Each structure stands twice: as C-alpha cells, then as structure tokens.
C-alpha cells in the first residue's frame, strides 16, 4: 500500500514509519520540520519505497495514497503554545486539507487525537463516552479545542462525504527520539538527570499521568487503522503515576543524588489522567506490553547517546547541536 504519514519526522510518526517500511509499504513522510527532525527518518532516505516531502499541511497538497496517518501537530505544551494560532491552523486547516485529500483519492484516514480532548477530567479513568472539561479560552485550548474540531471534521466528512475515518485518542506517550528540549515531563526529567541538573516538578507533583511506550502505541495505531472500528478509541497505558513518583523513578535509574526543584504549576494543567482501554482491548485486541521500567531504560539509553553526541558537537562548535523551533 502507499501510505502517507503527516508529521512523519516527529517522535511517534518516525517510529510508525519504521514499522510501515519494515512491512514493505510505500511510505510518504510529510513534515514541515517544526518539531520533527530529518535524522529520525535518515535510515530510509535512500530507500526506493520512501519519500520525504517538506510541506506545511495548512497548505493544500495533491498526492495519490491508500492510507493517511495524520499526526502532524506539535504535541508538547511548550511547542504548541509557542505559536498558538499556528497550532489551531494546523489542527483545523491542516486536518481539513488531509480530509479533502482522503475524500478525493478515497483513502482511509486516521487522526491522531489526544486525551487532551477530556481537558481537566472530572471522570476517572476516562472512557470514550466522557465529553470532557476543556477551558475554551485557556492557554492549552489551541491544542485541546483544535483536536476537538479535528475530530468533528473527521466525523462530518464521514457522514457527509463517506470518508473512511479512524480516530485515536492518544494518552501520554514516551520513548526514544523525543526531543531533549521538548518540554514534556519524561524527556525533561531524563535529560535533566543525565545532565546533573535538578528535576523540575511543577506544583507539588501530586498530579498524575499514565505513560505508554511508543512501540505499544504504534501497534495500537496500526490495529485501529486496519480494523473496522472508527473510534474515537483511547490508546494509552493505564498504569497511573504521580509526577513526583515519576521523578523519583528516573532519579533512581540515573542519579539518586539529583535534586528535585519545585516550580509553579502551569495554568489549566490536568490533575489526573488515566485511560479506560476497555474498548481497545475488546475491539482491537490491543493492550500495552512494555512495562514503564523497561521503556524508561530504553529511552534513557537513547538520551545518553544523543546527549553525549550533542555535547561533543557543541564542544566542536557545531551549529546543529540544539536546533530551535522556527514555525
């Protein structure tokens, strides 16, 4: 099959591309390199079945494909709040363009939605039926509301134009290739501990999240894409930890002497989050397999390699060591 992956140079997208290429598909990776990096797909660059296109999905594009995994959108609060209007455009105009493309070529399209559609949830754990508690005018709403509209667009294109849609609600995912300056909690803690810096815990660290290893998540996305259920369907690991527990776990693995520094809690930060994955289990026969201890070890090994390399590049005066966002 010819498969388009938007946001394919990013964290989840590049792991997905590895799996699709290994299965022998013809893959087009489309990315504007805002938070994605060419190095994430470097090993496929000269492969005859791989094509990399630098393109911003807020502009229309005509391609011929069978399936579209639509992942393009910055996912870390730091990056999606850097240019919130752009985040909305990416979610709304970008998703509209991808649905228009899917409609024209009759491709199946999977939207990477998010647990953020539940906002600061009043229901715990969160099942797909829960309608959410989102602040429409807060600093997270460019992302939360953007994804909610993207879901709406999918189902309107489905009802109005028979577009074959799939919607995944992804919960916090971590693993190798996250940007070391990404701002998300697992990458921050791992990078801080490896650099000998204090781990920055926002608030008192009693807020919770549930962390899914990227290989498990990619498996779930592919099952959803190739199954009959449209979604929305939760994909995440139900193991729930407080942020302080996560900090201590990473401290224990890297540097038990590293300090914890408490910082103010960001506005509208959800207090608890844990997926109810009953649907994914029964409809996709999917559940996460990689325990968080093992996933963290793999991620730490990757960060050790990269941070080691980037400090030696910096020492050698390379300008590519720490690219800054531009979009």
The dihedral formed by the CA atoms of 126, 132, 137 and 141, expressed in degrees to the nearest 10: 50
Residue 200 binds to ligand UDP (criterion: CB under 6 A):
yes
Q: Output the six-digit token pair for 140.
A: 């997270």
Question: Which of the residues 81 through 100 are near ligand NAD (CB under 6 A)?
Answer: 90, 94
130 is catalytic: no
CB of 2 to ligand NAD, least distance (A): 19
Q: Are 273 and 320 in contact (CB under 8 A)?
A: no
List all residues 6 or more positions away from 59 whose beta carbon is below 8 Å from its beta carbon. 97
Segment interacting with ligand NAD (CB under 6 A) among 30-38, 43-51, 220-228, 252-260: 30-38
CB of 16 to ligand NAD, least distance (A): 9
Nearer to ligand UDP, 21 or 107 (CB): 107
Task: Pick one of 173, 188, 207, 210: the residue that binds ligand NAD (CB under 6 A).
Answer: 173
Segment interacting with ligand NAD (CB under 6 A) among 28-36, 134-142, 200-208, 285-293: 28-36
Out of ligand NAD, ligand UDP, none, what residue 269 binds, judged by CB under 5 to 8 A for its kind, is: ligand UDP
Out of ligand UDP, ligand NAD, none, what residue 207 binds, judged by CB under 5 to 8 A for its kind, is: ligand UDP
Catalytic residue numbers? Answer: 143
User: Which residues of this protein are in contact with ligand UDP, per CB under 6 A?
Assistant: 60-62, 76-77, 96-97, 100-101, 103-104, 172, 184-185, 188, 200-202, 207, 209, 243, 266, 269
User: Which residues of this protein are in contact with ligand NAD, per CB under 6 A?
Assistant: 7, 9-13, 31-36, 56-58, 71-75, 90, 94, 112, 114, 170, 172-173
């Amino acid at each position: 099959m010819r498969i388009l992956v938007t946001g394919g140079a990013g964290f989840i997208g590049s792991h997905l591309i590895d799996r699709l290429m290994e299965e022998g598909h013809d893959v087009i990776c489309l990315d504007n390199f805002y938070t994605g990096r060419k190095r994430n797909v470097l090993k496929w660059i000269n492969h005859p079945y791989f094509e990399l296109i630098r393109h911003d999905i807020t502009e229309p594009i005509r391609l011929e494909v069978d399936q579209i995994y639509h992942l393009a959108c910055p996912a870390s609060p730091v990056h999606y709040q850097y240019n919130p209007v752009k985040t909305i455009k990416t979610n709304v105009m970008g998703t509209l363009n991808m649905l228009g493309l899917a409609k024209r070529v009759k491709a199946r399209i999977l939207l990477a939605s998010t647990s953020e559609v539940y906002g600061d949830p009043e229901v715990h754990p969160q099942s797909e039926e829960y309608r959410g508690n989102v602040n429409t005018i807060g600093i997270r709403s460019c992302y939360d509301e953007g994804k909610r509209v993207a879901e709406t667009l999918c189902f309107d294109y489905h009802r109005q134009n028979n577009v074959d849609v799939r919607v995944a609600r992804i919960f916090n995912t971590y693993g190798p290739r996250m940007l070391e300056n990404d701002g998300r909690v697992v990458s921050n803690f791992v990078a801080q501990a490896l650099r000998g810096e204090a781990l920055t815990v926002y608030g008192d660290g009693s807020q919770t999240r549930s962390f899914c290893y990227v290989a498990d998540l990619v498996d779930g996305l592919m099952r959803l894409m190739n199954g009959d259920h449209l979604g929305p369907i939760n994909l995440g690991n139900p193991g729930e930890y407080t942020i302080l527990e996560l900090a201590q776990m990473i401290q224990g693995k890297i540097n038990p002497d590293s300090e914890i520094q408490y910082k103010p809690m960001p506005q509208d930060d959800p207090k608890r989050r844990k997926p109810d994955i009953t649907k994914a289990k029964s409809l996709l026969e999917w559940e996460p397999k990689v325990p968080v201890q093992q996933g963290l070890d793999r991620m730490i090994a990757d960060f050790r390699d990269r941070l080691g390399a980037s400090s030696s590049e910096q020492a050698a005066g390379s300008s590519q060591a720490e690219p800054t966002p531009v979009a």
